């Protein structure tokens, strides 16, 4: 495995961040590499990197990798990729600001010995059950451990034995000596170090004791000279310990002042989505989705594959603001951000998602032969002439949407029904004359005649007035494509609310796969290209499965909000 730090455990970089300008703010995004980033993380990323950018500061990308069992290089790589994808760079001012908490294990160990020597920490050999029972609760003060006051020498020796592998996993822990009667349970002698024989993705088997998050995280911030340690609200009760720890280490000369300060903000929750790594992992492991990057997943890899752009994700995060409450954001906000981003830049194309054939029965009369192809064109984008023109052609048989024909029209229906005229978009006006059916009575083809001299863009185009416009693709040049039509993954806006098992509200029809027909301008579309299929919405060529000889497009979102529907 790759090692990020070649030194010895005692040599962790004291000044991890290098020479620093104290006038600048310094933030960090500190993911644990135990899973893929999700939309909630995007909020933290944009907040931390955004503050640094806006105030001329620096933002660190720090892997909080102090928990060896669940952490893997695969996640480290995926996290880096997605931070970059979102548009942020940990290289700032010509310096890399990429850090690994595991590089500070040596320092953390020395800090722990310092606390023991100062009478501020002790090794507790109570069983986990005894510890839990003696912690008390909100109404009952805790009880001191019988090991608490055995003396500095004893505890220092025990802690060194822990480090040297003399005791089995779980036999004892190092605890801070604060106050077992504190009204803040986090101050009732929190655990600092535990014994765990596990191979670490960075430090290998160098250590068999690992620091607890609550001990490690403040130290990481202080070593990197972070000014604003921004975390989610549930850490508010940890702040007194954060300050206790760093204050004592600074008093002992192990850390320099000014010390970092912790600030809390509300988590981002998105409706119709779960954002707990454990629950996301369950969706993957139990096969409810195809993987971490399934386009229905709220992971950033999933959202990227679905077709959401970094711009749309950033805009959504900005729209939520920074608050002191855990707000629920409606998914439609994200879709709105996607539409505003793509509206102005995605090329247009015609695609037929639910095809039925349209036969132009007077084709040879109009064009002289059935083999003639009548060239048509339309702008790639209505407001971006620089994107050029799309070319396609008319033939005697076209694909149109099944819903664009009604044998008996409903009120206000302006598309094709016997006797009615409508325009083929960027083509001719046609008049519907009827349809063909099979024995089962299903419509197999719609019949129409071309109205002469009505081609779009020619002088006679407006001579005949029609109300309906039909999108179409010529059967002779249509590209058959797999279209993956996604819906919300859950049927409830707050899938895990009130302790409900979120698996019970999985939407059984969150994915519908159809074969549709695309206009020829999409031949050779590269993976990840985003287009607006006229009338239908925004689609993206799937970055994993799309091939030019076997196109696969994902629906990102429709042209209008229908989340409330």
Annotated binding site for ATP: 32-34, 38-44, 232, 267-268
Which residue from 192, 231, 353, 422 is in contact with ligand ATP, where contact means CB under 6 A? 231
| 481 φ/ψ angles, rounded to the nearest 5 degrees | -140, 150
Tokens matching residue 171: 């036999």
Pairing of strands 443-450, 355-360: parallel
Element housing 301 (H / E): helix 300-306
Q: Least distance from C-beta 497 to ligand ATP, angstroms?
A: 15
Q: Least distance from C-beta 325 to ligand ATP, angstroms?
A: 12
Residue 7 burial by Cβ neighbours in a 10 Å radius (0-12, 13-18, 19+)? exposed
Of 32 and 343, the one with the shorter C-beta distance to Mg ion is 32
Is 455 a binder of ligand ATP (CB under 6 A)? no
Of 41 and 530, the one with the shorter C-beta distance to ligand ATP is 41
Q: Least distance from C-beta 32 to Mg ion, angstroms?
A: 5
Q: Which single residue brings its beta carbon nearest to ligand ATP?
A: 40
Is 41 a binder of ligand ATP (CB under 6 A)? yes
Tokens matching residue 199: 């191979």
Is 277 a binder of ligand ATP (CB under 6 A)? yes
Residue 129 burial by Cβ neighbours in a 10 Å radius (0-12, 13-18, 19+)? exposed
Is 68 a binder of ligand ATP (CB under 6 A)? no
Can you tell me the distance from the alpha carbon of 134 to that of 122, in angstroms, rounded to the nearest whole number?
16
Is 297 a binder of ligand ATP (CB under 6 A)? no
Binding map of Mg ion across residues 444-473, x = CB under 5 A, - = no contact: ------------------------------
How remote is the C-alpha of 201 from its chain's centroid? 24
Is 31 a binder of ligand ATP (CB under 6 A)? yes
Closest CA to 485 of 537, 423, 548, 413: 537
Cβ within 8 Å of residue 441, ≥6 positions away: none
C-alpha dihedral sign at 366, 372, 375, 376 = positive
Cβ within 8 Å of residue 58, ≥6 positions away: 17, 24, 25, 26, 27, 52, 92, 93, 97
Of 32 and 179, the one with the shorter C-beta distance to Mg ion is 32
| Contact partner at residue 102 from ligand ATP, Mg ion, none, CB < 5 to 8 Å by partner kind | none
Is 145 a binder of ligand ATP (CB under 6 A)? no
DSSP letter (8 states) at residue 262: E
Which residue from 12, 16, 26, 44 is in contact with ligand ATP, where contact means CB under 6 A? 44
Q: Least distance from C-beta 274 to ligand ATP, angstroms?
A: 9
DSSP letter (8 states) at residue 256: P
Q: Least distance from C-beta 197 to ligand ATP, angstroms?
A: 23
Q: Which single residue brings its beta carbon nearest to Mg ion?
A: 32
Which residue from 276, 323, 444, 548 is in contact with ligand ATP, where contact means CB under 6 A? 276
Residues in 23-62 that interact with Mg ion by CB under 5 A: 32
Which residue from 16, 27, 40, 353 is in contact with ligand ATP, where contact means CB under 6 A? 40
Angle between helices 152-163 and 105-117 (to 10 degrees): 160
Q: Least distance from C-beta 264 to ligand ATP, angstroms?
A: 9
Can you tell me the distance from the alpha carbon of 135 to that of 175, in angstroms, rounded to the nearest whole number?
12
| Contact partner at residue 40 from ligand ATP, Mg ion, none, CB < 5 to 8 Å by partner kind | ligand ATP
Is 30 a binder of ligand ATP (CB under 6 A)? yes
Of 31 and 516, the one with the shorter C-beta distance to ligand ATP is 31
Of 463 and 497, the one with the shorter C-beta distance to ligand ATP is 497
Angle between helices 105-117 and 213-223 (to 10 degrees): 110
Of 32 and 311, the one with the shorter C-beta distance to Mg ion is 32
Can you tell me the distance from the alpha carbon of 110 to that of 19, in angstroms, rounded to the nearest whole number?
22
Do residues 298 and 331 lie in contact, with contact meaning Cβ atoms separated by under 8 Å?
Answer: no
Rg of the chain in Å (alpha carbons): 31
Residue 433 burial by Cβ neighbours in a 10 Å radius (0-12, 13-18, 19+)? middle
Which residue from 70, 261, 267, 373 is in contact with ligand ATP, where contact means CB under 6 A? 267
DSSP letter (8 states) at residue 102: G
Of 75 and 159, the one with the shorter C-beta distance to ligand ATP is 75
DSSP β-bridge partners for residue 209: 195
Of 8 and 325, the one with the shorter C-beta distance to ligand ATP is 325
Cβ neighbours around 181 below 10 Å, total: 13
Which residue from 268, 337, 473, 541 is in contact with ligand ATP, where contact means CB under 6 A? 268
Binding-site residues:
32-34, 38-44, 64, 213, 232, 267-268
Closest CA to 271 of 318, 312, 331, 182: 331
| Contact partner at residue 433 from ligand ATP, Mg ion, none, CB < 5 to 8 Å by partner kind | none
Do residues 408 and 485 lie in contact, with contact meaning Cβ atoms separated by under 8 Å?
Answer: no
Q: Where are the alpha helices (DSSP H) in 17-72?
A: 39-54
| 404 φ/ψ angles, rounded to the nearest 5 degrees | -90, 5
Active site residues per annotation: 32, 267, 277
Which residue from 206, 232, 332, 393 is in contact with ligand ATP, where contact means CB under 6 A? 232
Is 32 a binder of ligand ATP (CB under 6 A)? yes
| Contact partner at residue 31 from ligand ATP, Mg ion, none, CB < 5 to 8 Å by partner kind | ligand ATP
Q: Least distance from C-beta 401 to ligand ATP, angstroms?
A: 40
| Contact partner at residue 555 from ligand ATP, Mg ion, none, CB < 5 to 8 Å by partner kind | none
Site size for ligand ATP, by CB under 6 A?
14
| 455 φ/ψ angles, rounded to the nearest 5 degrees | -60, 135
Do residues 475 and 429 lie in contact, with contact meaning Cβ atoms separated by under 8 Å?
Answer: no
Is 26 a binder of ligand ATP (CB under 6 A)? no
Of 39 and 180, the one with the shorter C-beta distance to ligand ATP is 39
Binding-site residues for L-glutamine:
64, 213
Contact set with ligand ATP (CB under 6 A): 30-32, 40-41, 43-44, 231-232, 267-268, 275-277
Q: Which residues bind Mg ion (CB under 5 A)?
A: 32
């Amino acid at each position: 495995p790759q090692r990020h730090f070649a030194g010895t455990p005692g040599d962790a970089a004291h000044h991890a961040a290098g020479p620093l300008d104290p006038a600048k703010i310094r933030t960090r995004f500190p993911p644990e590499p135990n899973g893929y980033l999700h939309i909630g993380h995007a909020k933290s990323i944009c907040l931390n990197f955004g503050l640094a950018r806006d105030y001329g500061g620096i933002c660190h990308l720090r892997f909080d990798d102090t928990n060896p069992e669940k952490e893997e290089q695969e996640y480290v790589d995926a996290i880096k990729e997605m931070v970059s994808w979102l548009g942020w760079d940990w290289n700032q001012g010509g310096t890399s600001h990429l850090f690994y908490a595991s590089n500070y294990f040596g320092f953390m160990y020395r800090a722990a010995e310092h606390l023991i020597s100062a009478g501020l920490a002790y090794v507790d050999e109570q069983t986990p059950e005894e510890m839990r029972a003696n912690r008390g609760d909100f109404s009952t003060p805790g009880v001191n451990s019988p090991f608490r006051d055995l003396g500095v020498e004893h505890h220092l020796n025990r802690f060194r034995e822990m480090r040297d592998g003399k005791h089995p996993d779980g036999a004892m822990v190092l605890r801070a000596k604060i106050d077992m009667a504190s009204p803040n349970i986090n101050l009732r002698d929190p655990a600092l170090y535990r014994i765990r024989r596990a191979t670490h993705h960075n430090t290998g088997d160098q250590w068999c004791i690992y620091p607890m998050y609550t001990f490690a995280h403040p130290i990481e911030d202080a070593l990197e000279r972070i000014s604003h340690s921004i975390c989610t609200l549930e850490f508010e009760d940890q702040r007194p310990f954060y300050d206790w720890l760093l204050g004592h280490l600074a008093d002992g000369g192990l850390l320099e002042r000014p010390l970092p300060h912790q600030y809390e903000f509300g988590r981002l929750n998105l409706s119709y989505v779960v954002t707990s790594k454990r629950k996301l992992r369950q969706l993957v492991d139990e096969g409810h989705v195809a993987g971490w990057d399934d386009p229905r997943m709220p992971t950033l890899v999933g959202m990227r594959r679905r077709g959401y752009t970094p711009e749309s994700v950033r805009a959504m995060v900005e729209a939520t603001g920074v608050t002191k409450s855990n707000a629920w954001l409606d998914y439609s906000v994200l879709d709105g951000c996607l539409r505003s981003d793509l509206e102005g830049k995605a090329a247009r194309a015609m695609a037929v998602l639910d095809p039925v054939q349209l036969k132009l029965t007077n084709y040879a009369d109009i064009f002289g032969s059935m083999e003639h192809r009548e060239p048509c064109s339309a702008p790639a984008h209505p407001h971006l002439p620089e994107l050029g023109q799309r070319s396609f052609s008319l033939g005697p048989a076209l694909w149109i949407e099944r819903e664009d024909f009604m044998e008996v029209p409903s009120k206000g229906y302006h598309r094709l029904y016997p006797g009615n005229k409508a325009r083929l978009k960027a083509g001719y006006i046609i008049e519907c004359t009827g349809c063909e059916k099979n024995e089962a009575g299903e419509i197999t083809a719609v019949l129409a005649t071309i109205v002469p001299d009505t081609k779009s863009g020619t002088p006679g185009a407006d001579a005949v007035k029609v109300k309906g416009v039909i999108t179409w693709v010529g059967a002779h040049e249509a590209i058959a494509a797999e279209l993956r039509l996604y819906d919300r993954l859950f049927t409830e806006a707050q899938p895990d609310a009130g302790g409900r098992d979120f698996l019970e509200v999985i939407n059984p029809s969150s994915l519908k796969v159809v074969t549709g027909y695309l206009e020829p301008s999409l031949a050779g579309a590269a993976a990840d290209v985003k287009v607006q299929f006229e009338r239908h919405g925004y689609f993206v060529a799937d970055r994993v499965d799309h091939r030019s000889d076997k196109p696969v497009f994902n629906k990102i979102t429709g042209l209008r909000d229908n989340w409330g529907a």
